[in-house]
Chain A
């Protein structure tokens, strides 16, 4: 089967996954106790006013009918409904924020790639010696520290003490965005790298022992060339798989990090919306995130054949 057919099949599968996501998320937000009507109307609302609002928002209709409205409007017209709390179209609220979360996740992945390659290779070639130990202990610390606390530590060091980066916010121009997003992206990247470095280090060490590496050395190739062309390329395959899977982790981590660094992304909106029982917004963010994760995983799967020409898609 060629690559095109493979992509086609994956896209069809994606539709099924999305259907599952909508069912699960629709069910879950409605199982949550708590009535959005009282949250919107405040403490003072009479029961009658609350009932009127539920009627107006369609919250008193049967679940199946509500689900059908959500799915049909969403897929047929791209209309994700109105936010219960903000009385604005959900599309406007969510879609302006998606690029911020995506930029943060992408930035974090970029930084993570740099960090992983640098420290993964360093650790592997220095196996057992102090640089290896230092890297392993250091990143274990990054992995086990809660990221909101880690973020605050970075703010204290780079924002308040050294003044290299702003404390929080998003900035207004593109260079400012790059500058403002650095610390939050680094916070995510360090945690992500911790997992990746361990994996890459192990893979490199394993590959170094293989016969073809010995052959390459015997041929008289330089250490550098052996490492980069023969070892790394083979070692990277499983690291890239993990890297792709971690995109979901990044979108999740972004929720907390966006709050700490005051970034107006989807994570911040999601937290508010869950607290407010703003069903349409929660549904929209979840579906959009699911699509992103699925697409990124597809891209990762496709990237295998670039890394390893032996990989075919069937």
Chain B
């Protein structure tokens, strides 16, 4: 009946109305962020809201020691603060909420003096008891994901409001680096203690009360994350009123939004687009140096990968420069050592420069001389790893190795390497602290679960040296120990190092001060709009 003659003009009108309403905001400008007007919007002195588009949404709650994903971590470092901070280059620590720290002669007791006048975002004063409560939850809270890094701590005490004492079970050199980790952040005592209560992590955890530059009044998955300026911030009130973080999963869409002026900052710009973006007038893009590696892990318990010569041969046949050029568009560096470029990284370690003849000779004298088939498990969705695998398949074929590339969901890759059900896998590592203790204990120490499960490599001599390096208080001796650890592990070749990666970001040219530090965190405290 809607096709009766009289109705047609009505339908036509409805169609016209629909089309008009679809286009209306462009012509009438009803207060919506019309593309192309961003220049005039940012020139307005009233509202200084930084819009950021990010590649992922947090799934951990904003409770520092319960965080196990980067998007939540990047929020945490903007709303919470730690006693010490990692320096911008990520290789050392500097004063944070503590102004002074000293160790007893035996290295078993550390005393920290808190900065005067530090307040939480609600205006209440931060006290030593808040630090104690937070650290206690981080090292012993039921839901803490980071208990392992605090095992050396025997007791935390607060003799007065300004002093925190940490007693250790044994001397522990990485302590200061551990205290600069995001998981060691300070919450008000009552709030810290409440974090283990049932349902806290899916209700209250999104509302923060910290000493960081910003605070969050709450968040619901699917909504933008809104960080408001903390006027009580101890390093001075931030220039931005608000940071508004939107979730845009698609790499191309994020970059297009930046180009269209719909957002001010984006993260994870594809390496291939950095150069192109910098040729455009209103946009900048950069790769920042962070402590991240990309490598292939070999399952050393599977023949013939249990033969060190096979693993070394694969290493020599890996043309890292070609991968960096073709996969990372030159935005990465050759990885010489098994650890990232943080503290105690041995820049002089030779590693495995590309040498096909040497590789062939090694393979010919190994148990893999007759050639073999090897699966390489790659996480789906990671284009860089997939492209690396393709190049390696071709390169290693020259040694008689048939690489079978298997693209699998992350959950499957993880389950498989837990079960030892793989031969090789493309992997990445990012340091969470500047000290190498994290990576050597986690990735190189063999034996008990979950250690070294990318490789199943277990060398008791290396394990001893790892323990010794944790106990050693003298920085020079530690450096020597870590150099030795890197050399032993590199010679044994349980992994094929590929590249030191950077973190990429892009921003509108009126944004000033955006910076990704050595541990890949970005803080908005020093970001402002110029003009």
Chain A interfacial positions (CB closer than 8 Å to B): 32-36, 38-39, 41-48, 85-88, 93, 96-97, 110, 114, 152, 155-156, 159-160, 163-169, 171, 173, 175-176, 178-179, 182, 225, 228-229, 232-233, 259-262, 264, 268-269, 274-277, 306
Q: Which of B3, B34, B247, B414 contacts A229 (CB 8 A)?
A: B3
Minimum C-beta distance from B50 to chain A (A) = 16
| Residues of B with C-beta under 8 A to A232 | 3
Also in contact, A175 and B25, with CB within 8 A (given A42-B68, A152-B252): yes
B259–A160 touching, CB < 8 Å: yes
Minimum CB–CB distance for B131 against chain A, Å: 25
Q: Which residues of B contact A41 (CB under 8 A)?
A: 68, 145
Question: Would you give the shortest CB distance from A229 to chain B, in whole angstroms?
Answer: 6
* Sample (13) of A-B pairs whose CB atoms are under 8 Å apart: A39-B411, A42-B69, A43-B414, A152-B252, A163-B35, A163-B260, A166-B262, A175-B24, A175-B30, A179-B25, A179-B32, A275-B381, A277-B411
Least CB distance from A149 to B in Å reads 10
* Bound form: Cα–Cα A39–B269 in Å: 25
Q: Which residues of B contact A32 (CB under 8 A)?
A: 409
CA distance A220 to B1 in the complex (A): 22
Of the candidates B2, B36, B249, B257, which one forms a contact with A169 in the assembled complex, judged by CB atoms under 8 Å apart?
A: B257
What's the minimum C-beta distance from B419 to chain A, rounded to whole angstroms? 9
> Is the Cβ of B3 less than 8 Å from the Cβ of A114?
no
A276-B411 CB under 8 A given contacts A47-B418, A167-B35, A261-B253: yes
Residues of B within 8 A of A261 (CB): 253
Q: Once the chains are docked, how many angstroms separate the CA of A159 from the CA of B257?
A: 9
Task: Judge whether B509 is part of the interface by a CB distance below 8 angstroms.
Answer: no
CB <8 Å contact, B409 and A275: yes
Residue contact A38 to B253, C-beta cutoff 8 Å: no
A-B contact count (CB 8 A): 158
Separation of A229 and B8 alpha carbons in the complex (Å): 11
Bound-complex Cα distance A175 to B29 (A): 11
B residues contacting A by CB (< 8 A) are 1-5, 8, 15, 18, 21-26, 30, 32-36, 53, 59, 61, 68-69, 145, 148, 201-202, 220-223, 246-250, 252-253, 256-257, 259-260, 262, 381, 408-412, 414-415, 418, 442, 449-450
Given A88-B221, A228-B3, A275-B409, check contact A260 B250 (CB 8 Å): yes
Q: Of all chain A residues, which has the CB nearest B415?
A: A35
A47 to B409, Cβ gap below 8 A?
no
Give the distance in Å from the alpha carbon of A97 to the alpha carbon of B247 in the complex: 14
- Closest A residue, CB atoms, query B379: A275
Asked if residues B21 and A38 are in contact (CB atoms below 8 Å), the reply is no
Q: Which residues of chain A have C-beta atoms less than 8 A from B22's C-beta?
A: 178-179, 182
A114 contacts across to B, CB distance below 8 A: 15, 18
* Nearest-CB residue, chain B, relative to A87: B202
Determine whether the beta carbon of A262 is less than 8 Å from that of B260.
no
- A29 → chain B, closest Cβ, in Å? 11
**Residue pair B25, A167 in contact (C-beta under 8 Å):** no
Residue of B nearest to A96 (CB): B222
Q: How far is the CA of A218 from the CA of B34 in the complex (A)?
A: 55
Q: What 8 A-B pairs are tightest by C-beta distance, nearest first?
A: A34-B411, A34-B412, A262-B248, A38-B414, A167-B260, A264-B222, A42-B68, A87-B202
Q: Which residues of B contact A110 (CB under 8 A)?
A: 18
A262 close to B246 (CB less than 8 A): yes
What residue of chain B has the Cβ atom nearest to residue A111's Cβ?
Answer: B18
Contact, CB under 8 Å: B414 / A35: yes
Residue numbers in B under 8 Å from A36 (CB-CB): 411
Q: Contacts of B148 on A, CB cut-off 8 Å?
A: 44
Beyond A178-B21, A179-B22, A275-B411, whether A229 also contacts B4 by CB under 8 A is yes
A-chain residues with CB within 8 Å of residue B247 when the two chains form the complex: 262, 264
Query: With the chains together, A274 CA to B410 CA distance in Å?
Result: 11
Does A47 contact B5, Cβ atoms closer than 8 Å? no
Give Cα A42–Cα B68 distance, bound, in whole angstroms: 7
Given contacts A259-B249, A262-B250, A275-B410, whether A163 and B26 have CB atoms under 8 Å apart is yes
B410: A residues at CB distance < 8 A = 34, 39, 275
A260 in contact with B253 (CB, 8 Å):
yes
Residues of B within 8 A of A88 (CB): 202, 221
- Known contacts A173-B32, A179-B25, A228-B8; decide if A167 and B418 are in contact (CB<8 Å): no
- A176: chain B residues at CB < 8 Å are 25, 32
> How far is B201's CA from A163's CA once the two chains are assembled, in angstroms?
41
A229 contacts which chain B residues (CB < 8 A)? 3-5
Contact between B256 and A159 (Cβ–Cβ < 8 Å)? yes
Contacts A47-B450, A87-B202, A97-B222 hold; do A167 and B253 have CB atoms under 8 A apart? yes
Q: What residues on A are CB-neighbors of B256 within 8 Å? A: 152, 155-156, 159-160, 167-168
Apart from A34-B412, A35-B414: 8 A-B pairs, beta carbons within 8 A: A34-B414, A38-B415, A166-B260, A167-B35, A168-B253, A228-B8, A275-B411, A276-B411
Least CB distance from A53 to B in Å reads 11
Assuming the contacts A47-B418, A233-B3, A259-B250, asked whether A35 and B23 have C-beta atoms less than 8 A apart, the reply is no
| Complex Cα gap A36–B418 (Å) | 13
A39 CB contacts on chain B under 8 angstroms: 410-411, 414
Indicate if the CB atoms of A168 and B262 lie closer than 8 Å.
Answer: yes
Chain B residues positioned under 8 Å from A269 (CB to CB): 222
* Least CB distance, A240 to chain B, in whole angstroms: 12
Q: Is the CB of B415 within 8 A of A33?
A: yes
Question: CA of A160 to CA of B22 in the docked complex: distance in angstroms?
Answer: 17
A291 to chain B, nearest CB (A): 21
Given known contacts A34-B409, A232-B3, is B449 in contact with A46 (CB within 8 Å)? yes
Q: Is B249 within 8 A of A268, CB to CB?
A: yes
| Bound Cα distance A93, B21 (Å) | 30
Which A residues lie within 8 Å of B409 (CB)? 32, 34, 274-275, 277
Minimum distance in angstroms from A163 CB to a CB of chain B? 5
Contact of B5 among A156, A168, A228 (CB under 8 A): A228
Alpha-carbon distance between A58 and B466 when the two chains are bound, in angstroms: 38
Query: Which residues on the A side are within 8 Å of B24 (C-beta)?
Result: 175, 179
